[in-house]
Amino acid sequence: MSHPKTYSAYAFTEKGGTLQKLIIDWQDPKDGEIVVKVLACGVCGSDEFVETGALGMQYPHVPGHEIVGEIVAVPPNEKNYKVGQRVGGAWHGQHCFSCTPCRSGDFTLCEHTEANGIHRDGGYAEYATLRSEAVVNVPTDIDPAEAAPLLCAGVTVFNALRNMSYVPGDLVAIQGIGGLGHLAIRFARKMGLRPVAISTSADKKDVASRLGAVAYLDSSKLDIGKALTEMGGAKIIVVTANNPDVLNNFIEGLSIGGTLLILSFPPTTPINLVPLIFKRASLRGWPAGDPKACEDTIAFAQSAGIRSLVTTFPLDKAQEAYEFRSKARFRAVIVPNA
């Protein structure tokens, strides 16, 4: 497929800076790579790692790991993908096939994994280069802007929930009604759980109900642990927002054998573990997911009629989209080639 000699991208060029437009020279894909024309790229909270240099970032660097695109170039020996296919690039951007987790098929935990948009340039651009082993197959009958958030926010909550212990009808509390939280409520409801939304914004009560929550708890006004206990206790409490101060109180709201599930990146905080003993409860984390998990997420969302709620921005408004990430209802998505 034809391509330009150069293309536009938006990158952080220094730690703590703002996104700057770059003109990047075209490079043909090497063995094990494909190049896609970016149709949509979600703006994730963890894109801040690029701005802050939290992972030893080298600049300039293009963020974005919720990428949906159309393949425009493959190397001569590529056997699995061809020009014209609709694919995606998620947080999981590479695996080695040879470490112990990879040999067990657990590619998400590869000891040499790299993240799209973090360790390699991402999707705030007209074109992006992806590792072929980490490519996600994306159906053409889903809006790319709605599919993009499923490749990080969506797969994180879906893959975590389906790997927890529960039975239909169990109460699941979801803290934070943002990019992850709004999808967690919808997935939980379709999985047969009873989702309770937890937030600090009174104006989110009605939207939580429309998303499928059976109840709404305002953590700025209520003792969440007590409130959940009065409801019978939560089998799972899903933490999607970065607020470490509430974790101890949440543990009090778990049911017997419940799980406090950490999906965000909270700063280090002391946690009182004693209640876990008396509740036979557990504290777990869960990473996003490999390409197959992303494809499972999209398939479940389509079959269950679940749509990501997004606000789209053109590429030249990338900084505006990035600044909007915490205010979006519920995901800002950059559409470079609209």
pLDDT at residue 282 in the model: 94
What pLDDT shows up at residue 1?
67
pTM, entire model: 0.94
Structure tokens given for 326: 């915490």
Identify the sign of the CA torsion 324, 290, 8, 121: positive
Domains of the chain with CATH codes: 6-152+289-335 (3.90.180.10), 164-285 (3.40.50.720)
Backbone angles phi, psi at 79, to 5 degrees: -110, -20
pLDDT, averaged per 10 consecutive residues of the chain (338 residues), comes to: 90 96 97 97 95 88 98 95 97 96 95 94 98 97 97 97 95 94 97 95 87 94 94 96 80 95 80 90 94 98 96 97 90 90
Residue 232: count other Cβ atoms within 10 Å of its Cβ: 11
Confidence at residue 273, expressed as pLDDT on a 0 to 100 scale: 86
At 88 the pLDDT is 98
pLDDT of residue 264: 86
User: CB count, 10 Å around CB of 305?
Assistant: 8
Q: 231 is written with which tokens? A: 């409801």
Helix, strand, coil percentages, rounded to 5, for the chain: 30, 30, 40
At residue 289, the pLDDT reads 94
